[in-house]
């Protein structure tokens, strides 16, 4: 690990993984710099591909730790590795394509003080303000088929000002107690990409924790949708979906859902 700045005990450790995406991450880093100066934050930036840094440490109030992978790793493995290096009481996974124009963390942290909440996420909207389906019910084969044939387009949960308790939240922004994340052994690294967020939310619920979305916190997702354009990403998506449906986690969730 390359330590770019000294990191005293942080309240919040933020993990971001770059796949040659420093242009996107620079924007996210500037948002943290602009809106989060009242929080004790550290950033753990994993370079999954070799690339030059596009910033100076003196530009930011928060310490930055750099991890340079010798070989590319999967989504879960990268964030698990970052959590091992984290010092914060809380651990936040954020995608490079997330932006915000106000502090999204304070209200999330306040609600995460409830010991029954295992993970919390903000309301995620697109660049035009449309609400994304980042809070969902657990997938089933019938739900997947309905989506494939265009029969399921509505969001799974109605939004208001109250905390929402979905089955799972998307991995573009997930905030945990670091101790709870470690208690569950983090993401299942057998999922190279996709469905590791579904699996972890399922395991949290089986362990007695709740998944939550706080509509009072909002971020913008400039989605890349790689699996929609690349056969490689689509294959990863399909393989992860099959792994989830064949997993003990899915079987236990299915049994629990039966009357």
Q: Could you read off the pLDDT of 175-224 as tens digits, one per residue?
A: 999 999 999 999 999 999 999 999 999 999 999 999 999 999 999 999 76
The pLDDT value recorded for residue 133 is: 86
pLDDT band at 232 (very low <50, low <70, confident <90, very high): confident
Chain centroid, CA 4 distance in Å = 24
Average pLDDT in the 157-175 region? Answer: 91
CA pseudo-torsion sign 122, 128, 131, 134: negative
If you ran DSSP here, which 8-state letter would residue 131 be given? B
Each domain of the chain, given as residue ranges in start order, spans 2-257
What is this structure's pTM? 0.92
- pLDDT of 152 higher than 60: no
Could you report the per-residue pLDDT of 12-36, keeping only the tens digit for each?
A: 999 999 999 999 999 999 999 999 9
For 202, the enclosing helix (H) or strand (E) is helix 196-206
pLDDT > 70: percent of the chain: 90
The pLDDT value recorded for residue 148 is: 62
Average pLDDT in the 89-106 region? Answer: 97
CA pseudo-torsion sign 86, 27, 119, 256: negative
Please count the residues of the chain: 259
Q: Options 3.40.50.880, 3.40.50.300, 3.90.550.10, 1.20.58.1000; which CATH number does 2-257 get?
A: 3.90.550.10
Question: Of 65-74, 157-166, 173-182, 195-204, which gets the smallest average pLDDT?
Answer: 157-166
- pLDDT of 151 higher than 80: no
Separation between Cα atoms, residue 157 and residue 137, nearest integer Å:
8
């Amino acid at each position: 690990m390359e330590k770019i700045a000294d990191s005293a005990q942080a309240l919040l450790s933020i993990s971001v993984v770059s796949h040659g995406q420093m242009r996107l991450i620079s924007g996210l880093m500037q948002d943290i710099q602009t809106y989060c100066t009242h929080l004790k934050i550290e950033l753990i930036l994993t370079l999954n591909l070799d690339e030059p840094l596009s910033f100076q440490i003196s530009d930011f109030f928060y310490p930055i730790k750099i991890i340079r992978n010798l070989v590319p790793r999967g989504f879960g493995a990268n964030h698990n590795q970052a959590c091992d290096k984290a010092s914060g009481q809380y651990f936040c996974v954020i995608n490079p394509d997330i932006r915000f124009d106000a502090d999204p963390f304070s209200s999330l942290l306040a609600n995460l003080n409830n010991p029954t909440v295992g993970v919390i996420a903000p309301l995620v909207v697109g660049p035009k303000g449309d609400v994304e389906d980042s809070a969902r019910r657990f997938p089933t084969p019938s739900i997947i088929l309905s989506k494939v044939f265009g029969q399921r387009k509505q969001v799974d949960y109605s939004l208001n000002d109250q905390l929402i308790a979905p089955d799972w939240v998307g991995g573009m922004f997930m905030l945990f107690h670091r101790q709870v994340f470690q208690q569950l052994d983090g993401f299942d690294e057998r999922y190279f990409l996709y469905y590791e967020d579904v699996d972890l939310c399922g395991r949290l619920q089986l362990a007695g924790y709740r998944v939550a979305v706080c509509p009072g916190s909002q971020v913008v997702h400039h989605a890349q949708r790689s699996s929609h354009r690349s056969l490689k990403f689509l294959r990863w998506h399909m393989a992860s979906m099959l792994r989830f449906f064949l997993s003990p986690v899915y079987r236990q969730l299915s049994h629990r859902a039966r009357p």
